[in-house]
Amino acid sequence: MTQFLNYAVPGVPFGCVFALMAVGLVLTYKASGVFNLAFGAQAFVSALAYVSLDQDGWPRWASTVIAVFVIGPLVGVLLDRLLFRRIRTASPLVKLVPSLGLLVALPQLALIIAGSTPSIPPPAIVGNAQRVYFHLGSVPLSGLELSISAATVVVVGVLVVLFRFTPVGLEMRAVVESPRMTELAGVNAGRVSAFAWILSSIMAALAGVLLSPLYSQLDPQNFTVLLVWGVAGAVIGRFASLPLALVGGLALGIAQQVIAGYMPAGVIANGLRPSLPFVVLLVFLPLARQRQIDDPLSSCDPPSSASEAATAGFRSASTIAASGGAVHAVGLWHQRLEDLPGSRMTGILVRRPTATFAWAVGALAIVSALTWVPPDWLLTMNQGVAFAIIFLSLTLLTGMTGQISLCQATFAGLGGFMAGQLANHFGLPIVLGMVAGGLLAAGLGVLVAIPTLRLAGLPLALATLAFALLADNILFPNTWIGNGAGGITLPRPSAGPVSFAAAKPFFLLSLVILGVCAGVVKLVGDGTMGRYLSAVRGSELAANSVGIDVYRLRILVFALSAALAGVGGALFGSLEGSLSANDFGYQISAVLLVVVAIVGLGSIAGAVVAGIVYTTLQVAVTSLPSRFAGLVAVLFGLATLSYTRHPEGFLDFLSGRVQTAIADRRAHRLGGGPDGHGPVDGGVGKRPTASPDPVIGGPG
Amino acid sequence: MTGGVQRDDGASRPLLVADGITKQFGGITALDHVDMEVAAGEAVGVVGPNGAGKTTLFNCLFGLEDPDEGTVVFDGKRIDRLPVWKRSRLGIGRTFQRMELFEGMTVADHLLVAEQAASGTVRIWRDFVHRGGPTPSELHHVEQVLGLLGLSDLAGRPVETLDLGHARLVELGRAMMGTPRLLMLDEPSSGLDADDTGRLARILGETRRTTGVAVVLVEHDLALVESAVDRLYVLNFGKLLASGPVDEVLADPEVRKAYLGSTA
């Protein structure tokens, strides 16, 4: 028992911080319908403010007040006003991408504003962080631990009073229970939700500030880890119960210390602790889903308007209206047959004028790469090609199925490590190694998919995030996998007398591999599977009821997507000559999803452009002062703010604009109908005397 | 509960047998030992006031809900533990009261998906070799059903551009793909005007004549029920109130009291 206490008591402060995060997450989730992954970033921003103010010689109480009660709520209210309020009824993807973008962007933005990270640990908000004040049994309690625990007790006390004894507390409890019911009762849920945002932002800020003395240098990654623990706590609270989330967070904090204490030292023990959230998510997420179904009005969110009710669940109109066109996030795959008359079913993508332009640009880029482009540019382009393959894996998974994976970088890393290890230890040609890497990633994909793919939307995203964290901690550090931060070397391919070691041959080979991968995605998208996936996106229930095994289909796509990521990762490793765990850490997955979602998840071109843009910008940033190292993350993160308006992605948006413009001009030239698409209808009276364009000439 | 059931002389065994289906939600008993039989090619109606358990019965038969008690046998095979998609592949098609269309897909694609899914293979290799196009027989069947439903002219239209009447027909067509032996229709006339309902009844009759498919119809529109089904089951508060030939059941005073709210 004493032994247990020795391990458990030091876990309490961690548990307190996790609990603060968990309660805050549940509060905003239920009050505003958004699971705010930017919570970790908010904690970081306040922690950074606290540390910076402290360094500037501000008194401790003033730094605390400003960081926790001014900056914390300010950021929260801004996020609510600018973003989250608008997307509370959007699709899971549209909700998740901006909060991921902010998770990535906010810390980097704060770092750019702050200029530098102070490297001396700040003091605890009360007392001396290092000094041991007294012993509980034989467990020493330091000022840091005491301050964290005391602050949490105060917060919980305030929450209890607020929820039990104040009108706004009552309203908030009602909103947490069922926002729709509360609105029906005449309460302004928007105001209550804003208050909940302030409250939860204070909690995130407090969690960040309380934890900051623990680190010698503030690193956004630590706060992402904190976020994941908070998420696990929130999941224990089934996304719904504040007391359960509190208890869950506390229990996790204690459990992780106890596990570390009892387990023998080594990779397993070191890895087991950070992978606890993954286990918790796998066990508790199905329960959380059950609970949501229990809400009697859960199927009525958003409150439907009269006209929608009239169509009795014919969902297109309501979904499109609610998500601002989010339905078309998946662009091309939808439009296959729209323009084709009758029942001629072929898998032809609609031919767009912009497609010809895109091919021309691509051809020009390739010719340039092979002729006049300087070597370092060529390297960047080649990196872009490798990343394009990884982005393709998201085009397939997220673009076509709407499933959100936050472990694609992990699959890329595993594929790369597999290829490298096989080449180094067994002399396997690296190209075969890439295939093997893809297969390994696919196999692991199936393993991840089997327990997690029963979930969908947000729970799936969280489960994959937890898996990425687990892989980072348990798989990557192994010498026979990723060899930790040291990494492994990968050769460049050669086939007999033909060597691809030089830049240009390797670039050509990369293009061929990209072409094969793109071909796979296109065939899947246009074929039976694409049609099935399209059906599942439209209505999972109906897809099941016509005989589609949705679960198996999802596993298949997830595995295929993991394989693509693995191949891309292996190609990247071979290009760079080495690969380390840092190249494909879990936080990279979030960046990748954000980038490709902004550029466009609906097309192969989107993935290719995303690859080129992503690598090019990263290279461009290196020429700036070191302060701006995080600028790419900031740019893409903030671009997600526009994503909620244009979920089809930049590329589709642009090509849509161009096409509309072309159609308008053509219609104008022909004096066609006001619909902007020319006189398609043969019966239109305003027929031109002589149509110069046979393509749009109507019958008769 | 087979007493009084009228059956074709030639029918060997019933196509669908539900025995003692019971389903509770919390403290509410939605279905209380409901029995049901459908012979091959027969059309059966399920009526009852709102909340009588009609849709829950459908869901239990089709696998969207697990009944707490009772068995479901389809074509001599127990199906009450099978997932929805397996029941569908055995030859049960269904429509939904709250429509579930594949948003963004065309009318023809709706039918094609159902046709391909009914054959039961995810054809990833075929996709790579044949580019995923439909086989001539699949295409033929799709065109046949489109013709039957009168939807040929709308084949290339995305479903969200259709009016409700046509959208309901698309759902019916989708359920008819893969040559099912049983169609389960959940309030197909809901939201339709008289013309659309008449067309639906005509198409339903035509479908039964040409394919010999059995039908279970949950419906509020008694005119449609009377014209479309041979036998009727009446549910009230989760219990089977009456069953038998349509005119007999509708004449039953207890049924009239519960369902029509009159004792006349």
Residue A598: name the closest of A632, A561, A646 by CA.
A646
Measure the CA–CA gap between A450 and B91, rounded to whole angstroms: 28
Asked if B105's CB is within 8 angstroms of A311's CB, the reply is: no
| Selected residues 517-546 of chain A with any CB under 8 Å from a CB in chain B | 520, 523-524, 526-532, 534-535, 537-539, 541-546
**pLDDT for position A132:** 72
Q: Identify whether residues A461 and A560 lie together within a single domain.
A: yes
Q: Give yes or no for residue A346 having a pLDDT over 50.
A: no
Yes or no: say if B48 and B85 are a contact pair by the CB < 8 Å rule: no
pLDDT tens digits for A551-591? 888 899 999 999 999 999 999 999 998 888 888 988 889 88
Same domain, A19 and A143: yes
Looking at A258, A276, A294, the residue that finishes a domain is: A294
Residue carrying structure tokens 């397939």? A396
Strand partners, B34: B21
Helix axes A430-452, A267-294, angle to 10 degrees: 50
**A520 in the same domain as A409:** yes
A341/B102 Cβ within 8 A: no
Q: B105: distance to nearest CA of chain A, Å?
A: 6
**Which residues, in sequence order, are bridge partners of residue B234?**
B47, B242
Examine the domain organization and report whether A558 and A690 are in the same domain: no
Last residue of a domain, one of A243, A269, A294: A294
Where does the pLDDT of residue A344 fall: very low under 50, low under 70, confident under 90, or very high at 90 and above? very low
Q: With respect to residue A363, please indicate whether it lies within any of the assigned structural domains.
A: no
Pairing of the two strands B43-47 and B214-218:
parallel
Q: Is residue A161 exposed (0-12), middle (13-18) or buried (19+ Cβ within 10 Å)? A: exposed
Q: What percent of chain A has pLDDT over 90?
A: 16
Bond into A302 cis (ω within 30): yes
Do A144 and A256 share a domain, yes or no? yes
pLDDT of residue A500: 83
The answer to whether residues A30 and A143 belong to one domain is yes
CB distance from B117 to chain A under 8 Å? yes
B256 to chain A, closest Cα gap in Å: 28
Given its phi and psi angles, is residue A118 left (phi above 0), alpha (psi -120 to 50 degrees) or beta?
Answer: beta
pLDDT of residue A270: 66
Residue B182 main-chain phi, psi, to 5 deg: -140, 130
Rounded Cα distance between B215 and A501, Å, is 67
Structural domain includes residue A44: yes
Whether A349 maps to a domain, the answer reads: no
Contact with chain B for residue A293, Cβ under 8 A? no
**β-strands A498-499, A488-489 pairing:** unpaired
ipTM value of the model?
0.87
Predicted confidence (pLDDT) at residue A536 exceeds the cutoff of 60: yes
Which residues make beta-bridge pairs with B22?
B69
**Residues of chain A neighbouring B171 (CB-CB closer than 8 A):** 542
**Cα distance between residue A208 and residue A245, in whole Å:** 18
Q: Which residues of chain B register pLDDT less than 50?
A: 1-11, 263-264
Is A689 within a domain? yes
User: A342: how many CB neighbours lie within 10 A of its CB?
Assistant: 14
Angle between helices A267-294 and A242-262 (to 10 degrees): 160
Q: What is the CATH number of domain B16-102+181-260?
A: 3.40.50.300
Q: Tokens in use for A278?
A: 């993954």
Query: Tens digit of pLDDT for each residue in B193-208?
Result: 888 888 888 999 988 9
- What pLDDT shows up at residue B130? 65
**Burial code of B175-201, b = ≥16 C-beta within 10 A, e = fewer?**
bbbbebbbbbbbbbbbbbeeebbebbb
A391: pLDDT confidence band, cut at 50, 70 and 90? very high
Q: Which tokens in the block code for residue A54?
A: 């402290």
Range of the domain at A674: 662-696
Percent helix, strand and coil across chain A, each rounded to 5?
70, 0, 25
H-only helix segments in B72-193: 84-91, 107-118, 124-130, 136-149, 164-176
Mark whether A582 and A669 lie in a shared domain.
Answer: no
Q: Is residue A654 part of a domain?
A: no
Per-residue tokens: A545: 């009821």
How far apart are the C-alpha atoms of B56 and B71, rounded to whole Å?
Answer: 15
HSE-CB at A385 with a 13 A cutoff on CA atoms is: 28
CATH number of the domain to which A210 belongs: 1.10.3470
Task: Kindly report the number of other CB atoms within 10 A of residue A238's CB atom.
Answer: 20
Give the pLDDT confidence score for residue B257 in this predicted structure. Answer: 78
Q: What is the pLDDT of residue A439?
A: 93
Q: Which of B102, B152, B167 sits opposite A539 (nearest CB)?
A: B102
pTM above 0.90, yes or no: no
Other beta carbons within 10 Å of B33: 15
Number of domains in chain A: 3
Residue A537 lies in a domain: yes
Burial class (CB in 10 A: 0-12, 13-18, 19+), A694: exposed
Q: How large is the angle between the packed helices A457-470 and A220-236, nearest 10 degrees?
A: 130
In a domain, A135, yes or no: yes
Last residue of a domain, one of A586, A620, A636: A586
Q: Are residues A542 and A685 in the same domain?
A: no
